[in-house]
Each structure stands twice: as structure tokens, then as C-alpha cells.
Chains A and B, each alone.
Chain A
């Protein structure tokens, strides 16, 4: 909300600097986000006088002017495009380096910085501005001509009397009382210890006899007070310049003298008002009642609305003529022909206005104020002030009768504040006299006070003060938050253990990053069709930002693939990425979806590898990622966090993946890995192979909780290695061979490992050579060659009886 310093001065005398005022407001919780100095608007733009005009030697559409700016000898050569420019005219001159508010040649009229330019051979030392360029009117055709008595050589801002300072205050929704200049002045007065005053209303002196009659019927329960006044004989026209200027200073467009008057009073005191054309009110009757569902209504901006039920409507004897607190109707709008107006000031329920404003999608200055709650003690002041203002600037007579329905609610809120609680909250003590002084400054009436309690009565405009803690904030605010001490005392309290999942999740991230993977963080939302390919239990948003972000992702894969594609487009083709994130599904118990137990959220880890694992370097050859890279990462992860091997069980390809392996640990499935199906990749514009591993983090953590780090004594006896080489069909699995070893080994075999694998013409088509080393070791003694040979022989025998396996040679 914009607040004008000049305007504030109507209610409080402020000699403090604008910066001081801004920091005072901020310290009160009324955060000033920006200070705008009007005088800065026309920096380096001054008034001037055209001395002479001549034709441009090289252009028929340009004139060359000599312009005086201040002292006689201060002359500028300026090329001008307005051919009507003539000697003697007072003009507005922009000097080199000035910021012109609007660029005439820019479709959006953006501001631009003026530089010295050469126009067809003649250097222009400035520019004669149009009213559009100066942000005064829409006139782009001719340059701005000032009256002949305008002083030459002064700042244009001084010429306009632009000396105001505008504060942009970010108001929190609890402070409806500050949505006006008077409200802000009241806060400043309390903090700066100054007297504030509302200008006297002198309406009484100008009231005239009643000529017109009207009746008000209050049907809606959502309206507590409805006041009205009739002003006859008005002339609708432009507002006087002081009013236009005031409204313009806070960014409000001038409409006509009637609407401007009601707006002015609203920004002054916070009470919204509405003016109807009295002659358009049928039956001379105002009925305030709630709408019925699907009722139709055309607002004064020409838009048709369908209403929901219980929108408060202002109606005459035959139809609705305005949506209360939100916008008037086209059928009762003030026009240039209007001579008699009916002025309305009312208190509508905050909740009701908010509901209607949300439903209709109309957010007006009036509705904002109603939503935040009004001070009903100022409603009469406001309608009288507006009536007086209208009669002053639009002529007309204010008729003496004040129409009223409903009443001002009278039940002031009484709160008892315990001093003990106050001090314990603040962490410091204050003198009771000081507390009472703060309360008085805030117009909070102290009814009773003793050494333990203070009983207060809250003024009407502070509807945000409800409980004792609200009073505590008021005291802290006025005393200054900067005076709260910073306590360093430690409250002793045993720690509960941190959740395992949080810890492991962070450790996995750190581990994967340390082995060269890049962590990514992606959106939770994806396209519906993308999600449906992965899961049928998708969770859909009722109000997505766009159709592309309509559902919550049931897997991390889509956004991962999106990230891969993005990076490929950026020229990064070798990627090792991971993400730990939440996936969202409807649960098995899903019925109406009205309870959060009908949804599941699980933490997932997704790893993908794409492109080259190694690129060609002076010490290495290049190599593409393959399945065993991703498998290896998972094996390492299991060793690191579960301290043992995991098992992999292959399963058939799915719609979306190939070469799948289930990752099992202690016969619990913790995830899967494989190759993402080409078909699915093409949806994301990816042509390369993408290897993936997906781990259910909750499953992984569950397993991890059961695993313990356990030291096994280091074997000090030397081991013996025996290598065997086998030729088998290509289709025979390595796991089939290790199974034979496992079944026929004895306790001396410590471990075994494949160390060579190849196929060649010499070996034969469809065959491969596999070399496996067997490590024998005993924890009790040094083994002999003989006993090892015997043990190896037993395994070799089993290989030999398998007709698919040829034992090529025993390697020592």
C-alpha cells in the first residue's frame, strides 16, 4: 500500500526525515519496502523557452530550435520532431543523461536514458518532451507546452510541485486498521509520541432540507450497519487538480469528482464508500440481502457474473444494483447525467466479503478493507466527510437526513494481562507505568491495574487484539524489538535420537557425490500422460498451474529423464545423476480421497548413467557406461551401508525397462535396476541408452536398521590362489558357474572372483572364455598345496561332468 508523506501531514506533524519515518514504520511491523522521492522522477528534466526555430537542413520532418534554459547564455541546440514548435513557447527540456519515463517508440512505453544524438547531421543537445514521454497524459503527438508565465530553468518536478515522498508499506493481513493514511499516522503517533488528529467535519453547517426520500431494509445477516446520504444537484465532472494529484501520488487513477471523493475518504480513513445514481434506484428502496445461487449480475466494468449463494447484494425494489463491498452495478452507475446521488457507507461481514471476492475473482481496494475488518466507529465520520467533499467539489446539496439501518456493535473487548506472563514472555521486565503509557499511546484503555494484572479495553479499530499475547506483542512493539535481550542460556534437555532415515539419506547423498555422481533436485509435478504410463494410482491436482504440471510424480524417472534431455541440449552428454525425492500415489485404501491416509508418499533414490563412463584421456581409453556400472554402484552402496553383498534376481522386461534386476538384501526387495526402454526415452527426446537403479529408501533404511557393523578378525595365515579357465556357451550365466562353486566348495575356500572374460574366433562362435580365481585360506594354519589342489579338483570335476562346460586349463 502506498502512503503519501504530504497526506500524512494532515493528521500528524512530521519533521523527521523520510528514512527515519520509514524505519519507524518498519520497527512497528509495518514494513516499508520502498521509499519513492517524487523529486527524483524528473531528474535532469527542466523548464525552458524556445528562442528561435529554423528548418533542419537535411530533414523536412525536423526543426532545429534554440532553447534557453535558465540564464540567457545557457542555450541548447535541440532538434525537434514537432513541426508546430515556435519561438516564445515554454517547453519541458530533457537534458543528456535524464531518464525519460516513457519511450514513444517502444510498444510498451518503457523508460529510457537520453544520450546526445546526431540527427541527420545536427547534434541535439537535449529533447523537448511530450506529455506522454513525461508520464502526464497519453498525448504523444505534440510537445508539452507550458503556460507563458512558467518559470524558465527550474526543475520540472519543482514546477509541478512534486515534493512528496511515497512509502510502499507491506501490510500484514492482521492490520486492517492501517489500510489508510489516518491509520498509519495513528501508529506513528503512538511510537513517536505525537498527537494525531482527524480534520473537523463541518458538514452540519452545509446540510440542507430533505427533498428526497428512501427506505433501507436490512435483510442480510452479514451486514451490521448501513448508512446512507442523499446529495442532490451535483455536477459530475473532472476532479480538481489537488485531488487528482493526491490520488495519483498513491497510484490511484482519477475517474470523476464523485468516485474520486469516495476513494479519497477510503484512503484517508479506511472506510469504503459507494455512490449510486439516486434516480436509477427503483422504488426508492434499498434492500440489503443475500444472493441466491446462480443469480446473474453485471458489474460497472461491464462484466457479467454468476453469483454463489449468500453474496451480500444491494438491491432496489426490483433488482440488484450492486455487489456489497466489492463492486457496484452497471445499472446504478454514476454518469455525466447524474444529478442526485445516494452515498453508501456500511459494515459488511469480513468473511462474507472474502468468500464472495474469492468466488468472483474480484479483488478491489474496498473488498481488501472489508476482508480485514473495519472500524465501525468511523463509518459515520466517513460518510459525512465524503458528502462534504462532494458538495464542495461537485456542487450539490447534502440533505440533512442520515439514513441508517443496523447499528454500531458495542461490546468492547476486555482483556486481562498478567504481568508475570508478560515478563516471562518478553524475557525482561518493564515498569508498569511504562506499560500503561504504551497502552495509552495505542488508545488501549487501562480499566484497572495492580501489581499483578492490568485489565484493558481494546479500541474498536484494533480487531486483531483478542488475547493477552496480542497485548504482549503491542508492548514489545512499542518498546522496540531491538530491546529484547538475546538470551544464551541453555535449557537442559535430553536429546532424542535422530531419525535413521534422515541420517542415512544424507549419508547416501554424500557417498554418491563422493564417487562422482551429481545430485539433482526436480519438480514434484509432471504431465498426466507421462505419469499414467508409470502408474495408474496417480494423484491429480485440482488447481494445477498448467496442464504440464498437473499430477504429482509417481516415480522420479520422468523428471530425471527431463533433466538428462535438458543437459544433452546444453552439450553435456556424459551424465551420472541421482536424486533422492518423494513419490506420490493413491494408496490401496483410496476411496473418496478426503483423508491423507488414502495417499502414500515414499522416499526414492534414483540413479541414472548415460553416455561415456570414461572419456579418452592421455592415460585412458574411452568407455561407455553399461549395466555393470550401475550394478557396481548398488553393490558398493550395499557394502557401505548394509555391510554385505546384495543379491540380484533378473526379471522380465517391463513396458518401460529392459535387462531388469531386482535388488534383494536378506531376501527383502529394496529396488531394481536395468535399462530404460527406448520407447519411453523417445517421449523425452533421448536417443542414448539410459541405465538406471531405483531404490526404495524406506525399504533400504528398514534393512539398514537390522544391519550392524561387525569386526571379523583379520586372517594372518597366507592364502593360496588357484585360477581356472572355462569355456562355456555365451548364454550360460556366470551365476550358474558360481552356484556350482558354492555347492561344491569346502570351508577352506575363502572367496572366488571372475577376473577374465572374452570371446574370439579361436574359441568359437557362441562360446566364451571365463577365468575364475579361487582364494583358499584358513584362519588356523597355513594350507598345503596338496589339500588346496584336492579341493580345487573337486570343483573342476563338477565342471567337467557338465556337458556345457569345458575346463580349458588349470592355471597356477
Chain B
């Protein structure tokens, strides 16, 4: 049995066509299939080589040459294909979908009250004030009597008080710390007193049973109302912006005389009048005044030698206004969605 070279030539041509066709179909996944089918030891080219045995000796060199050419050609095409494929693969490997979202960090947050408090403290630290804290559970003397709130005086009605017993109460203002500071330290003093205070009022969207305050005191020689005004205006401009307008008007606090309240142009409506400022265009931001002589007397400071001023502001009110929250209770509900919004 012998195979004519003619037949072999046909088979070679068929295989060539077949391979050329299939090589086009190669994608990354079936590379190996192609290699096994054509180029492996038992592949179709090898099978043709087997037939060489049956070719007559005279035709063997030609047949061998043809077969070798076939193998080289297919191998070359395959390798070329492989190269293109590899190149494509690297390209796709290096492809970055930049539109994917980033790996965000968890959104922690400071409570809005802390944010306001820290900002206010920073401004007063810059003006040379020190921070002093005192107890929330207070006695009548420090919270009222020493601050010139006589017993059975209507001024006490300004602050509905929580009592622990007849003598002990929850401080209604951090002004009580002022008395403690004056007892411990001698003037000159320039301090702020941040902290939590309590008022026995029904809880509603406008009031809560507690709130936070920053009070301040400055005692030195020859401190005037002009100094007080200068300090307050400087604070207000740093905190609310240098373009705000302000007005101060007389008011009443038992522990200061003269007393005043400060209004600034409503920053929500720029002074045009809105619901928040009750259409007045003004927002009341703090109370202040020259420290009353009776206060010095109660702590044994010579009122003829020293004088000074005190001021105080509520943190919640400022926070609600600045952040546009219309219900004070939300500050104590601590909905994390709100906390993260205002982070």
C-alpha cells in the first residue's frame, strides 16, 4: 500500500485551508484546542507526517519538504495569532473602568452642637479668653443669689428651674461658673464658660429641657461698655461674617448693669424679613452687660478697683439658625442621617 504524493498534496492543501479557517476563529479560550488539534504530537499535521512512511522513496524528499513547509506555515500563523491575542489580553488587563465609585471612608461627624461650640471657643481663645468649667448640679447661691437674683424676685421667673431639693438645683445658666471662677481666682480674668444648662420648660419644637451656653467674663481695671461692644462686634464678625450689621439695645439681667442684647441682621433673609426672624430682619444672638456691683460684693472683689463685663449666648439657637434646622428636638434625636449630612 502506498500513498501517492498527489493525494498527500490534496490533504496538505485541505489541512492548510482548514487550519487557516480555524485560526481565524481562535480566541483566548480555545488556543489550546487548536494547538492540540493541529500541532500536537497526535495532531493532524503529525498524522500527515505518519503517512510519509507510505510514500515511495523517490517522492519522499518532496513530500517531506511539503509537510515541513505546512508545519512551519501553520506554526508561524498560530504563533502570530497567539501574539496578537496576548497583546489584546494585556490591553484588556490594563483597562481601568475609571467610572467605578471610589473606596470612600466611613463618614464620621461631630455633633452640630460641638461644631458650633468649638468654633465659638476658638474665636474667644484668639481674643485671650480661657475656658473654665463648673458643676451642673449647683446651689442656689452660685446660680442665683450671688448673681443678684434675690429670693422671691420676679427675675427668677425668667428661668424655670429644676430642683434636686430646696437648696440644690440644676444650673440655669453657666453664669454660675463665673461666681466659682471669681471665688477661686483674683482679677484680672478673661474667661469663657461653656456648658450644659437646664430650664424646666415643656419640650417642643422651640424649646428643650436643656441647652448649651457659652458665657464669658472679662474683669480688669477700667473696662468700659465700649470694650464690651468692641469684643462682641469682633466676635460677631468673626463668627457670622464681616459684612453683618448689628445693633445693641438695652435689656435686663440681674447680674449686669447696664445690660444689653445684641441683634445681627438675619443671615437667612439678609435683613429683608422672613419667618425665622419674625419678619423683623434681625436676630437676637446674645445678652451682655457690665457686671453688677452686687456680684462683686458677693464674691469679695472690690468694685471700686475692678470692673468688667459679662456676656452669654445659647448654642442651640445659633446652631439651628445656621444649619437651617427648624426643630430643636432633632438635635437630641441624633438621627445619623442628619449627623452625617452636617458632618
Which residues of chain B are within 8 angstroms of A567 by Cβ–Cβ distance? 334-336
Residue A428 lies at the interface, judged by CB distance under 8 Å to chain B: yes
* Chain B 147-170 interface mask (CB, 8 Å, partner A; 1/0): 000011111011000111111101
Report whether A566 and B334 are in contact in the complex, using a CB–CB cutoff of 8 Å. Answer: yes
A490–B292 CA distance with the chains assembled, in angstroms: 23
A16–B210 CA distance with the chains assembled, in angstroms: 42
Which residues of chain B are within 8 angstroms of A439 by Cβ–Cβ distance? none
Min CB distance B109 to A, Å, is: 5
Number of interface residues of B (CB under 8 A): 86
* Chain A 140-176 interface mask (CB, 8 Å, partner B; 1/0): 0000000000000000000000000000000011110
* Chain B 258-285 interface mask (CB, 8 Å, partner A; 1/0): 1111000000000000000010000000
Most A CB within 10 A of own CB, among B121, B158, B165, B166: B165
A418-444 with Cβ < 8 A to chain B: 424-428
Q: Which of A28, A487, A539, A542 contacts B250 (CB 8 A)?
A: A28
A567–B73 CA distance with the chains assembled, in angstroms: 72
Main secondary structure of the interface of B (DSSP, over half): mixed
Report whether A593 and B164 are in contact in the complex, using a CB–CB cutoff of 8 Å. Answer: yes
Report whether A545 and B337 are in contact in the complex, using a CB–CB cutoff of 8 Å. Answer: no
Instruction: Pick from B10-18, B44-52, B61-69, B216-224 the stretch touching chain A.
Output: B216-224
Residue A596 lies at the interface, judged by CB distance under 8 Å to chain B: yes
A34–B132 CA distance with the chains assembled, in angstroms: 38
A33–B249 CA distance with the chains assembled, in angstroms: 13
Q: Which residue of B lies closest to A581 (CB)?
A: B196
Min CB distance B37 to A, Å, is: 39
Report whether A524 and B210 are in contact in the complex, using a CB–CB cutoff of 8 Å. Answer: yes
A484–B332 CA distance with the chains assembled, in angstroms: 39
Which residues of chain A are within 8 angstroms of B260 by Cβ–Cβ distance? 481
Min CB distance A603 to B, Å, is: 9
The total of interchain contacts (Cβ-Cβ below 8 angstroms) comes to: 246
With contacts A425-B224, A524-B198 taken as known, whether A499 is within 8 angstroms of B188 at the C-beta atoms is no
Which residues of chain B are within 8 angstroms of A545 by Cβ–Cβ distance? 200, 202-203, 209
With contacts A173-B157, A518-B108 taken as known, whether A493 is within 8 angstroms of B190 at the C-beta atoms is yes
| Interface size, A (range) | 35 or more
Which residues of chain B are within 8 angstroms of A484 by Cβ–Cβ distance? 225-226, 229, 248
Report whether A499 and B132 are in contact in the complex, using a CB–CB cutoff of 8 Å. Answer: yes
Report whether B162 and A543 are in contact in the complex, using a CB–CB cutoff of 8 Å. Answer: yes
With contacts A496-B130, A523-B210 taken as known, whether A427 is within 8 angstroms of B224 at the C-beta atoms is yes
Report whether B332 and A521 are in contact in the complex, using a CB–CB cutoff of 8 Å. Answer: yes
Q: Which residue of A lies closest to B194 (CB)?
A: A502
Q: Which residue of A lies closest to B260 (CB)?
A: A481
Residue B131 lies at the interface, judged by CB distance under 8 Å to chain A: yes
Instruction: Pick from B23-31, B77-85, B136-144 the stretch touching chain A.
Output: B136-144
Most A CB within 10 A of own CB, among B110, B166, B202: B110
* Chain A 339-370 interface mask (CB, 8 Å, partner B; 1/0): 00000000000110011000000000000100
A493–B187 CA distance with the chains assembled, in angstroms: 11
Q: Which residue of B lies closest to A578 (CB)?
A: B108
* Chain B 197-238 interface mask (CB, 8 Å, partner A; 1/0): 010101100000110000000001011111101100110000
A808–B2 CA distance with the chains assembled, in angstroms: 67
With contacts A26-B249, A29-B249, A513-B110 taken as known, whether A488 is within 8 angstroms of B139 at the C-beta atoms is no
Report whether A576 and B196 are in contact in the complex, using a CB–CB cutoff of 8 Å. Answer: no
A31–B278 CA distance with the chains assembled, in angstroms: 13
Report whether B259 and A523 are in contact in the complex, using a CB–CB cutoff of 8 Å. Answer: no
Report whether B230 and A486 are in contact in the complex, using a CB–CB cutoff of 8 Å. Answer: yes
A27–B164 CA distance with the chains assembled, in angstroms: 39
Residue A112 lies at the interface, judged by CB distance under 8 Å to chain B: no
A506–B209 CA distance with the chains assembled, in angstroms: 24
With contacts A473-B258, A476-B250, A519-B339 taken as known, whether A351 is within 8 angstroms of B152 at the C-beta atoms is yes
A426–B106 CA distance with the chains assembled, in angstroms: 53
A572–B198 CA distance with the chains assembled, in angstroms: 30
Which residues of chain A are within 8 angstroms of B339 by Cβ–Cβ distance? 518-520
Report whether A499 and B258 are in contact in the complex, using a CB–CB cutoff of 8 Å. Answer: no
Residue A541 lies at the interface, judged by CB distance under 8 Å to chain B: yes
Q: Which of B100, B162, B259 contacts A544 (CB 8 A)?
A: B162
With contacts A498-B130, A619-B103 taken as known, whether A541 is within 8 angstroms of B209 at the C-beta atoms is no
Which residues of chain A are within 8 angstroms of B210 by Cβ–Cβ distance? 523-525
With contacts A472-B258, A506-B118 taken as known, whether A542 is within 8 angstroms of B165 at the C-beta atoms is yes
With contacts A593-B168, A601-B136 taken as known, whether A543 is within 8 angstroms of B200 at the C-beta atoms is yes
Residue A491 lies at the interface, judged by CB distance under 8 Å to chain B: yes
A513–B110 CA distance with the chains assembled, in angstroms: 6
A481–B246 CA distance with the chains assembled, in angstroms: 12
Residue B243 lies at the interface, judged by CB distance under 8 Å to chain A: no
A136–B336 CA distance with the chains assembled, in angstroms: 50
* Chain B 235-261 interface mask (CB, 8 Å, partner A; 1/0): 000000000000111111000011111
Report whether B258 and A476 are in contact in the complex, using a CB–CB cutoff of 8 Å. Answer: yes
A1-60 with Cβ < 8 A to chain B: 26-29, 31, 33-34
Min CB distance A472 to B, Å, is: 6
A513–B202 CA distance with the chains assembled, in angstroms: 32
Min CB distance A357 to B, Å, is: 10
Residue B333 lies at the interface, judged by CB distance under 8 Å to chain A: yes
Residue A461 lies at the interface, judged by CB distance under 8 Å to chain B: no
Which residues of chain B are within 8 angstroms of A425 by Cβ–Cβ distance? 224-225, 258, 290, 307
Residue A485 lies at the interface, judged by CB distance under 8 Å to chain B: yes
Which residues of chain B are within 8 angstroms of A486 by Cβ–Cβ distance? 226, 229-230, 233
Which residues of chain B are within 8 angstroms of A75 by Cβ–Cβ distance? none
Min CB distance B51 to A, Å, is: 54
With contacts A470-B257, A523-B209, A595-B139 taken as known, whether A173 is within 8 angstroms of B109 at the C-beta atoms is no
Min CB distance B198 to A, Å, is: 7
Q: Which of B133, B163, B170, B224 contacts A426 (CB 8 A)?
A: B224
A31–B263 CA distance with the chains assembled, in angstroms: 12
Residue B340 lies at the interface, judged by CB distance under 8 Å to chain A: yes
Residue A198 lies at the interface, judged by CB distance under 8 Å to chain B: no
Report whether A175 and B252 are in contact in the complex, using a CB–CB cutoff of 8 Å. Answer: yes
Residue B343 lies at the interface, judged by CB distance under 8 Å to chain A: yes
Most B CB within 10 A of own CB, among A496, A517, A519: A519
Report whether B168 and A596 are in contact in the complex, using a CB–CB cutoff of 8 Å. Answer: yes
Residue A570 lies at the interface, judged by CB distance under 8 Å to chain B: yes
Q: Which of A481, A490, A523, A620 contacts B248 (CB 8 A)?
A: A481
Which residues of chain A are within 8 angstroms of B334 by Cβ–Cβ distance? 518, 520-522, 563, 566-567, 577
A34–B273 CA distance with the chains assembled, in angstroms: 13
Which residues of chain B are within 8 angstroms of A174 by Cβ–Cβ distance? 155, 252
A428–B225 CA distance with the chains assembled, in angstroms: 9
Report whether A427 and B225 are in contact in the complex, using a CB–CB cutoff of 8 Å. Answer: yes
Which residues of chain B are within 8 angstroms of A649 by Cβ–Cβ distance? none
Q: Which residue of A lies closest to B333 (CB)?
A: A566
Residue A801 lies at the interface, judged by CB distance under 8 Å to chain B: no
Residue A302 lies at the interface, judged by CB distance under 8 Å to chain B: no
A570–B336 CA distance with the chains assembled, in angstroms: 9
Residue B94 lies at the interface, judged by CB distance under 8 Å to chain A: no
Interface residues of A (CB under 8 A from B): 26-29, 31, 33-34, 172-175, 350-351, 354-355, 368, 371-372, 424-428, 467, 469-470, 472-473, 476-477, 481-482, 484-491, 493, 495-499, 501-502, 506, 509-510, 512-525, 539-545, 549, 552, 563, 566-567, 570, 572, 575-577, 582, 584, 593-596, 599, 601, 617-620
Q: List 21 A-B contacts (CB under 8 A).
A: A33-B278, A173-B157, A173-B252, A354-B154, A425-B290, A473-B257, A477-B258, A493-B220, A502-B133, A520-B339, A521-B332, A523-B210, A552-B137, A563-B333, A572-B336, A575-B336, A594-B167, A595-B167, A601-B135, A601-B137, A617-B103
**Cβ-closest 5 pairs across A and B:** A427-B226, A516-B106, A29-B250, A427-B224, A172-B252
Interface residues of B (CB under 8 A from A): 100-101, 103, 105-111, 113-114, 118, 121, 125, 128, 130-133, 135-139, 151-155, 157-158, 162-168, 170, 188, 190, 196, 198, 200, 202-203, 209-210, 220, 222-227, 229-230, 233-234, 247-252, 257-261, 278, 290, 292-293, 307, 331-337, 339-340, 343
Other than the known A518-B108, A524-B136, what 7 A-B pairs have Cβ atoms closer than 8 Å?
Answer: A426-B224, A484-B248, A493-B128, A513-B108, A543-B200, A567-B334, A577-B336
